[in-house]
Amino acid sequence: MKKTATVYWLLPANPERNLFCEVIRILRKEFRAPNFEPHLTLFVTTKDQPTPKKVLRQIRSRPIRLEVRDVAHSPKFTKTLFVRFKSSSVLRKLGTELGRAGGVSTKAPSDPHVSLLYKKIPQRIKKELAAAIKLPVRNVRFDSIAAVRLTLPVRTSADVASWRVVASKKLAP
């Protein structure tokens, strides 16, 4: 059964955002996959109060820089192919701050990542892609947060196409 949720994303700053957008564009065309904004999911809530705008107004964090670990893949649709990051105390603090503002108990993401492709493809292809992609950056700066309304679970391109940003905030330098 589908349920509506609000997902809070940490968004990469330029020029890394442009890099991720270009990789997503290439993979999307090659595999006829959905287009999406590069993001790192911070947490998901099915609560509709407080509003996402109120939640984001309470956030005082600064931009975050995370170190790239590797490019990986999984059987999960929303983690078909992704860039994995090392967690940090700053990321954990932001997750806690967002959860508190949203009135939910939350932890930082256990496997912080930015997805590059959402598509059911053979394991062999995912493994080859993960091995072939070499990012020209060692760390990525994230400078804004977006609240996105969607339905869970996310299993298809149509699900991805229905995502809507309902609030956003630039992190103060």
| Domain ranges within the chain, ordered by starting residue | 3-170
Residue 2 pLDDT: 87
Report the C-alpha gap between 63 and 139 in whole angstroms: 13
Residue 172 pLDDT: 87
Residue 144 pLDDT: 98
Residue 141 confidence class, pLDDT cut points 50, 70, 90: very high
Report the C-alpha gap between 51 and 49 in whole angstroms: 5
Report the C-alpha gap between 15 and 140 in whole angstroms: 9
Looking at residues 64-74, what average pLDDT do you find? Answer: 98
pLDDT of 17-65, one tens digit each? 999 999 999 999 999 999 999 999 998 998 888 999 999 999 999 999 9
Q: ∠165-40-92 over CA atoms, to 5°?
A: 115
Are 160 and 33 a contacting pair, CB within 8 Å? no
* 108: pLDDT strictly greater than 80: no
pTM of the model: 0.95
* 109: pLDDT strictly greater than 90: no
Question: Phi, psi at residue 18, to the nearest 5°?
Answer: -60, -40
Residue 117 confidence class, pLDDT cut points 50, 70, 90: very high
Burial state string for 142-172 with b = 16 or more CB within 10 A and e = fewer than 16? bbbbbbbbbeeebeebebbeebeeebebebe
Q: Which CATH architecture has domain 3-170?
A: Alpha-Beta Complex (3.90)
Calculate Rg over the CA atoms of the chain: 16
